Chain A
């Protein structure tokens, strides 16, 4: 059974950093692309970043490019999102989601809330 569990959210001041983690289980983690998707309070979902199965390629939404870094550790079945220079508009629930070229984002975690506020 596929299971994705995010952690690391919390309250952080503008300009500071935070690192999110996503623990994966129940599938061959090293064969899937992994994504971060976020949802600001009361708003729609926004794709944030993707990393290829072997970590060879990474892509970002323009809104986070240069500030966020996606990474993974296939030996630990973990996905990460390093968020630097945080802004109030980064406040959101952050989800990790398994990606597939054909099956889209077929599994999602329950999300972790990041609040950027002074």
Chain B
């Protein structure tokens, strides 16, 4: 089973700043099957990025994903007030388990 470790645990930034969130896998993620989700308080997670770098339907282009092998990054180019939330990375392939990282909380500084 692949273990995903996200860093930092909490990130404090101001609106308009750039956010960089990290997700490290315990072994290489096959074919780049790495996704990112956003979860706002009281809501279900929402898919942001799939296959490492593809934005889900309706996701603004200020969100971007990159990486390969064991190191992956979610970048938010210019933070909007609605972006302050918890973000999770996930490894998904045909054979479960489908592991999630522990999450990064993005909070307003």
**Interface, chain A (partner B; CB < 8 A):** 35, 37, 44-47, 50, 59, 61-62, 95, 99, 101-111
Contact = CB atoms under 8 A, between A and B. Distances in A.
Interface stretch (B21-29, B70-78, B95-103): B95-103
Contact of B96 (A47, A95, A103, A108): A47
B92 interface: yes
Contact residues of A: prevailing secondary structure: strand
Given A45-B100, A59-B96, A102 B47 contact: no
Contact of B92 (A46, A95, A105, A109): A105
A110 B43 CA distance: 7
Contacts, number: 65
B97 A104 contact: no
Contacts of A106: 47, 50, 56
A108 B98 contact: no
A107 B100 CA distance: 16
Contact of A44 (B43, B51, B102): B102
A45 B45 contact: yes
A102 B92 CA distance: 9
Contacts of B101: 44
